Amino acid sequence: MSFLEIKDIRKKIGSNEILKGINIELEKGGFLVLVGPSGCGKSTLLNAIAGLLPPSSGDIIIDGQVVTDLHPSKRDIAMVFQSYALYPNMTVEENIAFALEMRGVEKAQREAEVKKVAKTLQIEHLLKRRPSQLSGGQRQRVAMGRALVRQPRVFLFDEPLSNLDAKLRVEVRAEIKALHQNTHATIVYVTHDQIEAMTLATKIVVLKEGQVQQVGTPAEIYNRPANLFVADFMGSPAMNMLKGKVSGGGIALFGNDGIKVAMPPSVTATLPDGKEVILGLRPEAITDSGLVDPKVVSVAQIEADVTMVEPTGSDTFVTGRIDGASFTARTRADLHVAPGQKFAFSFNLDKAVVFDPRTTQQID
């Protein structure tokens, strides 16, 4: 039984259709991440769930109750904003207690609840301070505390880590994940960072221009992207898109009939000869022969010119070029290869995903 149901939500602002019919379901205790490039409508969708922006049509249903027409304060939700939105004239304690105060909770009980939450987030020592006296990470915790104390049905996060520096981002991200694991809260989280999406979500929804591109677990999204957009958006460096043609039971890559690889296991062998396809392969699936997992079924060994070598410390990214097409391979850090040399790359075709270039959809 789904706990949060987003039913055919559409939103039009002026003549601009921002959300074009969104349907998503989330089970209780799930962590839903809405991810996509800027302008895809993810924040609009989050605001619609919160009730801050009424949809043009469609419904939001929380735990069986249709909340579409309800005021935000009556939906039993809490939201953590990108800019934290802490009330500047109140202390941390007053900030966290504000929602309880609005509900008429008595002072003694308010104090008790605030203390409990502050203890969980380790911000007890900050209770009497003002937001302007806090660091970015501390403010973020206070914002989460303000949401936690409400014990809402659904937590909404609107790009909460965007204003933090890289190191802090990793720390707070881990705290959010721990929070989810400890409290089993139902969370809807918006971000443009696909790493956050991968590490935090139980379910990812990829959005583009107001339409759902794919819904799935992180593994599904990463390994079996539904279309070229999802394949390209998730994962860094981006997935390699290799042009090819179906030929005699296999795929001829790079427009060169000489370079033929076996059809990846997931792809149906009933594609007609001559059909143009795009073979998607992530950099970590192209490597040097020493690194290939022996359990892999289809491997193709292809020699190409090395055009660029980028050592990152933990790996080396090698850009290869063959017949005018480039691809990126991830090899081990201590590989010795230089631009201008020829190198034999091993292509792990088990991981390959095949797309139809005209429909951009995955062929499976």
**Token pair in block for residue 279:** 């073979």
89 vs 312, which CB is nearer to other proteins? 89
| Binds other proteins by CB under 8 A, chosen from 21, 28, 29, 82 | 82
71 vs 336, which CB is nearer to other proteins? 71
163 vs 247, which CB is nearer to other proteins? 163
Least Å distance, CB 52 to other proteins, is 5
Residue 85's CB is within 10 A of a number of other CB atoms, namely: 15
Q: Is 56 in the site for other proteins (CB under 8 A)?
A: no
From 84-92, 173-181, 248-256, 318-326, span contacting other proteins (CB under 8 A) = 84-92
Q: Is 223 in the site for other proteins (CB under 8 A)?
A: no
Q: Is 91 in the site for other proteins (CB under 8 A)?
A: no
Residues 189-218 touching other proteins, rule: CB under 8 A, are 203, 214-217
Least Å distance, CB 84 to other proteins, is 8
Contact mark string toward other proteins, 22..51, x via CB under 8 A: ---x------------------------xx
| Binds other proteins by CB under 8 A, chosen from 16, 102, 258, 324 | 102
- CA–CA gap between residue 156 and residue 209 (Å, rounded): 21
Least Å distance, CB 103 to other proteins, is 6
1 vs 166, which CB is nearer to other proteins? 1
Q: Is 89 in the site for other proteins (CB under 8 A)?
A: yes
Least Å distance, CB 126 to other proteins, is 18
Q: Is 154 in the site for other proteins (CB under 8 A)?
A: no
Least Å distance, CB 80 to other proteins, is 9
On the CB side of 240, how many CA atoms lie within 13 Å of its CA?
29
87 vs 178, which CB is nearer to other proteins? 87
Q: Is 105 in the site for other proteins (CB under 8 A)?
A: no
Per rule CB under 8 A, count of chain residues that contact other proteins: 40
Q: Which amino acid is at 185?
A: A
Residues pairing with 6 in the sheet: 24, 60
Q: Is 112 in the site for other proteins (CB under 8 A)?
A: no
| Binds other proteins by CB under 8 A, chosen from 58, 85, 284, 335 | 85
Least Å distance, CB 22 to other proteins, is 14
Contact by Cβ (8 Å): 52, 58: no
Residues at the interface with other proteins (CB under 8 A): 1-2, 25, 50-52, 61, 64-73, 77-79, 81-83, 85, 87-89, 98-99, 102-103, 146, 150, 203, 214-217, 220, 226
